[in-house]
Each structure stands twice: as structure tokens, then as C-alpha cells.
């Protein structure tokens, strides 16, 4: 899947490294032998993967700051002198965009602009993977999976912000970055699950909290279809994309989908029932519809990544849910979650991480 020799000694700058996906990505990059520099807000209070997996100890640089502060961000990026940039810092929740639309727009749009403007002014050649979302597409509530050439759009602030981040990437690439040997691409993942996620109003974390409290999980839209996948699936795609970008920037500097196969686009109800059974819980969910708009059908077509990157999902939805339930059960049992997290990374990648 990956080329360990490519990553060994590479200087990687990762925004959002204290978050759920960012923490998993630091762990993988550490195994690959990369030198990782992070820029992010402090991790959330309470349990979080960054602390539980001892991610701070895997970093060469750990800068805390807000991506909306252009000057502070540019200083951190310039100090890191990265070969590769992964941009994950974002306001990543639909419901939060209803509560704070301006904050969401400022982080997801202007934060992305601050990244590209800093890269433009610094001018060092680099590879950049901007992680957006499957919700960047104009959702037409149809049954067909979205391909990379579908129009951007959205009915909620979060989705619009991610569509704008995609358009910004294209504009900066064509206006400035390509001429500076800064290869840029975007990555659009499905609905990720995995151990160490405690975000509010996200399905698996909500169930974990409900089980801990002995309360029935609350579902907003049990019939909604989503492209579920373990967090390691898209992260492997981001890494493969970065490798290809470095080798042939003109061929890979565009948008890429990293979603599950058709059989793994399942309803919310299926995910909940399966996870509860895997966790040996007798709780059953209750339905409380929400007031804000949210897409009911969302699927991704990843044929391009399969054909041109050689990327394909490794774990089915049932395997992904099983690994996720195992992680949370291990946490409840008091196991060393840094070791457990690395074990799951080893299970997924096998020998492709090398010996670093």
C-alpha cells in the first residue's frame, strides 16, 4: 500500500494533529519514520485520542494555535520547512455549523486560505493534501454515488464551507502554487469511525457515552444512508495520494474520493444495531428527529482512486465496527491505548509500514 522508503526522514506538517483523524495520522507517520510537525488547537477536554495514544511524544514539533490567525500559522509553517503538508484542521460537525456558522466559515474557508497564502509567500516546493469532506458535493438525494467531477454545493453551512475549500484549492493551484512547484490535491472521505473519537453529536461517540451512562442512544435519522469506513481507510488514501503527488504532480493534483465499497454504504440504524451487539449492550436506541437540515442519502464513488492510485478499502463495515468496538472496550478495561492503537495500525497495514 505504501512506500516506507519515501516517508523515512520526510518533514511532514500536519494541521489538526490533536484531533481524532490527526492523532491516528501522526501514529502512522511515526511508524513510517517521518518527522512530524503539528499545528492545532489543544485537544478537547476529557478523554481524547491525542492524550491516550501519547501522540505528543511522537512529534518533532507541536505548535498550538488557531488556523484563523494567519500570522501565527505562517510562522509555524515556515519554521517546519515541510516536504509534505496534510491539512486536517477544520470545524468538522454539521450540527456545530448551525450553532456557529461564522466560526465554521472562518475556520474551514479562511483557514484554508491562510494555508495556501502562507505556502505562496514562503514559496518552498512541497506536496499538499487538503482534506475536505464527502459533504462538499451538491447533494441531490439521489441513489448514485458522487464522482469527483460532480458540482460542489450544500444546503447547510458546513457543506458549503467544504465546497468552498475545494474551490479555493483549485483557484490557488491554478493561480499561484503550480508555478512554485507546490503540488496540491484534495481528499474527500466518507463517514469515518474508529477508536478514540469523542466528538459531540457523532454517532459512535454518542453511543459510547450512552452505554457508559446506561442510557438509550438517541438517533436523529435512522434511515439515513452514509458511506461508513474505518478511519484508517481514508488515511491510507491520503498517504498514497501524497506519494503520487510527489512523483507526478501534474497527473495527481486534483480531487480524490476515498470511500467504502457499495455494500458498506449502510443506514444509521444498521451501524447502531451492529455496534451495540458487538459491544454486548442490551440498550436499544430511541428516535428524536433533529430540527436542522441534513442529507439523507450520501454515497461516494472511489473508482478513480482505485484505478490510478491503487487504493481500495481493506475492511468491510462489519470489520470496521468490530475494530472500533474492540478499541473502546480496551479503553474501558484500562489497557494501554497507545499500544492498542499501534496494534490496530499494524493489523491494517501489515508489512507496508516497514520496520521504522
pLDDT digit string, tens, across residues 26-37: 999 999 999 999
Looking at per-residue pLDDT, the higher value among 352 and 338 belongs to 338
* 4-349 to CATH, choices 1.10.3720.10, 3.40.50.10310, 2.60.40.10, 3.40.50.720: 3.40.50.720
CB 265 within 8 A of CB 302: no
Q: Can you give the pLDDT at residue 142?
A: 87
92/85 Cα distance (integer angstroms): 19
pLDDT single digits (tens) 161-178: 999 999 999 999 999 999
**pLDDT, mean over the chain:** 94
Q: Which of 137, 158, 172, 348 is catalytic?
A: 158
**158 an active-site residue?**
yes
Strand-pairing partners, residue 322, are none
Supply the DSSP symbol for 54.
T
Scan for cell 510562522, then name that residue.
Answer: 75
Whether the per-residue pLDDT at 356 is higher than 60: the answer is no
Burial 279-311 (b: 16+ CB within 10 A, else e): beeebebeeeeeeeebbebbbbbbebbeeebeb
Q: Write out the three cell numbers for 169.
A: 484549492
- Residue 221 CB burial class (10 angstroms; 0-12, 13-18, ≥19): middle
Q: Can you give the pLDDT at residue 291?
A: 62
- Cα dihedral 118, 124, 121, 255 sign: negative
Spatial CA neighbour of 89 closest among 61, 60, 69, 71:
69
Supply the DSSP symbol for 108.
I
Amino acid at each position: 500500500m505504501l512506500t516506507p522508503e519515501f516517508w523515512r526522514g520526510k518533514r511532514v506538517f500536519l494541521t489538526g494533529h490533536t484531533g481524532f483523524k490527526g492523532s491516528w495520522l501522526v501514529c502512522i507517520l511515526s511508524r513510517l519514520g517521518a518527522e512530524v510537525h503539528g499545528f492545532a488547537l489543544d485537544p478537547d477536554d476529557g478523554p481524547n485520542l491525542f492524550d491516550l495514544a501519547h501522540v505528543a511524544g511522537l512529534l518533532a514539533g507541536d505548535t498550538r494555535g488557531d488556523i484563523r490567525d494567519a500570522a501565527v500559522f505562517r510562522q509555524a509553517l515556515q519554521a517546519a520547512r515541510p516536504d509534505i503538508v496534510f491539512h486536517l484542521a477544520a470545524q468538522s460537525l454539521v450540527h456545530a455549523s448551525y450553532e456557529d456558522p461564522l466560526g465554521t466559515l472562518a475556520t474551514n474557508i479562511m483557514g484554508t486560505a491562510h494555508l495556501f497564502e502562507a505556502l505562496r509567500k514562503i514559496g518552498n516546493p512541497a506536496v499538499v493534501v487538503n482534506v475536505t469532506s464527502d459533504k462538499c458535493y451538491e447533494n441531490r438525494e439521489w441513489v448514485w454515488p458522487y464522482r469527483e467531477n460532480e458540482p460542489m454545493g450544500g444546503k447547510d453551512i458546513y457543506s458549503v464551507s467544504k465546497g468552498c475549500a475545494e474551490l479555493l484549492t483549485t483557484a490557488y493551484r491554478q493561480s499561484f502554487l503550480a508555478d512554485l512547484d507546490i503540488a496540491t490535491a484534495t481528499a474527500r472521505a466518507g463517514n469515518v469511525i474508529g477508536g478514540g473519537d469523542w466528538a459531540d453529536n457523532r454517532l459512535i461517540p454518542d453511543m459510547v457515552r450512552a452505554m457508559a451512562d446506561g442510557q438509550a442512544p438517541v438517533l436523529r435519522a435512522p434511515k439515513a444512508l452514509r458511506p461508513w469506513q474505518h478511519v484508517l481507510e481514508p488515511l491510507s488514501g491520503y498517504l498514497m495520494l501524497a506519494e503520487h503527488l510527489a512523483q507526478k504532480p501534474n497527473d495527481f493534483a486534483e480531487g480524490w474520493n476515498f470511500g467504502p465499497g457499495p455494500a458498506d454504504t449502510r443506514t444509521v440504524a444498521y451501524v447502531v444495531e451492529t455496534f451495540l451487539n458487538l459491544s454486548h449492550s442490551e440498550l436499544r436506541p430511541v428516535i428524536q428527529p433533529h430540527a436542522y437540515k441534513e442529507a439523507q442519502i450520501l454515497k461516494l464513488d472511489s473508482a478513480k482512486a482505485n484505478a490510478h492510485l491503487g487504493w481500495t478499502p481493506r475492511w468491510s463495515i462489519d470489520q470496521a465496527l468490530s475494530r472500533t468496538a474492540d478499541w473502546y472496550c480496551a479503553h474501558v478495561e484500562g489497557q494501554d491505548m497507545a499500544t492498542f492503537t499501534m496494534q490496530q495500525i499494524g493489523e491494517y497495514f501489515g508489512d507496508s509500514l516497514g520496520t521504522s
